[in-house]
Amino acid sequence: MILTISNLFPRPDEPQRGLFNLQLFERLHRQDAVHNICLVPSCKMWSWPAIRAWDSPQAAAFRTSYTPVFYIPLLGRTWSWITYLLSLRAAGIELDAVDVLYAAWLYPDGVVATRLAGDKPVWLMVQGSDIFHLKNPIRRRLIRDACERAAGVICVSSNLADQLAENGIDPERIHVVHNGVDGDRFRYRDRTDARAALRSSASLGGMADLGDQPLALFVGHLVPVKGPDILLQSWAQVRIDSPEAHLVFVGEGVERPSLEAALRDRGIGDRVHFVGAQDQDSVAVLMAAADVLCLPSRSEGMPNAMLEALATGLPVVATDVGCCREILEPVDGCAIVPREDATALADAMRTALEAVPDRRALADSQRGRFSWDRQAQGILELMNGATR
């Protein structure tokens, strides 16, 4: 049995959280039983019994145990691994039937897993944002120790693997296994049909009839690292030449109030839509209806929105961070721009909105390039010691 440990997993209060882990764990479970531990950081200990009683908001074949772990935000992240470890030990996690532990986040999840495991092998997964814990000297030492204790470290991109090696992690212990995408859900669909579906969508029905007007799309958390503020700066430039264009933000986050205020101040909010977090079926329809996906991130690992867009046949404009160049450079119709360069982003968006790409050909070229089955198989081969 594989014991998966991650704070990134759908929860009743955040049903869209960590959907990529849900999909990966389902594929792993098809070949080896999975018991998932979803860590829920909280200092409100009176809420812990209710958290332990949670059921997954997403149907899954494997068991998920929601496990509260003590965390005080003001205490900071550096010492959180200690309270996480104490909370997990107090929860009495049973390891007798476990063959291997898989921690799908580098810190504190991965650090805690290697100290909880005893003599059980542990594999660590590096997703992207977790790499920034290496900037803190105390956390860096903890992470390096965890990587030495682990059977191996899996990165979702070569860029992340290089960053780990640069921070003193033994390259022989580092492996690259790309993220997957649900090819049944994210696939080519006729743009006109997709736009008609938007009008009948219960969660997106308030959106205006787009007709044939250009549509740019952002999918992600509305937080500084994802760069939605940069996108708004660029959008003000795009609107000068394309006043009829629409921009849709899919996602929630702390930046939403300031983004909405900036739109009012700039007077460009009439064709900008905030639709909140959406389920994957709605995101798939939006991608089929859009003309370009914009990823203005300040940092990335391997963003699944990018893979989903490509599988849909939707061109992508992204900043040169993480694995974006690695994935997009070979793909016609996509563009890479410098990080935090609003003008370059605006220019690339204009080009994409004016283009008439062969979206079916783009989707066909990506079919099978990334899949959850392929990622799960790669991880299992590593766990089983197979030569890849």
Residue 75: band (very low, low, confident or very high) from pLDDT cuts 50, 70, 90 = low
Average pLDDT over residues 169-190: 93
Residue 33: how many other CB atoms lie within 10 Å: 16
pLDDT in the model for residue 98: 93
Q: Contact, 58 vs 36, CB < 8 A?
A: no
Give the pLDDT confidence of 127-160 residue by residue, as tens digits: 887 888 888 999 999 999 999 999 999 999 888 9
196 lies in some domain: yes
268 and 379 share one domain: no
203 and 311 share one domain: yes
Average pLDDT over residues 274-278: 91
67 and 176 share one domain: yes
292-295: strand order across its sheet: 272-276, 246-250, 215-219, 292-295, 316-319, 335-337
pLDDT in the model for residue 386: 40
388 lies in some domain: no
pLDDT in the model for residue 2: 96
117 lies in some domain: yes
Alpha carbon distances (Å) from 321 to 4, 298, 326: 28, 7, 10
Q: What range defines the domain where residue 18 resides?
A: 2-180+371-383
230 and 255 share one domain: yes
Average pLDDT over residues 309-335: 92
Give the pLDDT confidence of 356-372 residue by residue, as tens digits: 889 999 999 988 888 99
pLDDT in the model for residue 301: 80
10 and 123 share one domain: yes
Total domains present in the chain: 2
Percentage of the chain with pLDDT > 90?
66
What CATH code is carried by the domain that includes residue 233?
Answer: 3.40.50.2000
165 and 293 share one domain: no
Residue 330: band (very low, low, confident or very high) from pLDDT cuts 50, 70, 90 = confident
Higher pLDDT, 112 or 300: 112
58 lies in some domain: yes
356 and 378 share one domain: no
pLDDT in the model for residue 326: 87
What pTM, to 2 d.p., does this model score? 0.85
127 and 17 share one domain: yes
Asked whether the predicted pLDDT for residue 275 surpasses 50, the reply is yes
**H or E element: which one contains 327?**
helix 324-328
Phi-psi region of 98 (alpha: psi -120 to 50; beta: other; left: phi over 0): beta
Q: Which of 70-74, 287-291, 327-331 has the highest mean pLDDT?
A: 287-291
Residue 71: band (very low, low, confident or very high) from pLDDT cuts 50, 70, 90 = confident
13 lies in some domain: yes
151 and 243 share one domain: no
250 lies in some domain: yes
24 and 45 share one domain: yes
Residue 347: band (very low, low, confident or very high) from pLDDT cuts 50, 70, 90 = very high
Question: How do beta strands 292-295 and 272-276 pair?
Answer: unpaired
34-41: strand order across its sheet: 63-69, 34-41, 2-6, 100-103, 122-126, 152-155, 174-176
Average pLDDT over residues 222-227: 93
Asked whether the predicted pLDDT for residue 92 surpasses 50, the reply is yes
Give the pLDDT confidence of 24-50 residue by residue, as tens digits: 999 999 989 999 999 999 989 999 999
Asked whether the predicted pLDDT for residue 74 surpasses 70, the reply is no
CA neighbor of 269 nearest in space, from 253, 247, 241, 295: 247
pLDDT in the model for residue 26: 94
353 lies in some domain: yes
pLDDT in the model for residue 54: 95
185 lies in some domain: no
Q: Which amino acid is at 182?
A: D
30 and 80 share one domain: yes
121 and 17 share one domain: yes
Percentage of the chain with pLDDT > 70?
97
What is the Cα–Cα distance from 28 to 6, expressed in whole angstroms?
Answer: 15
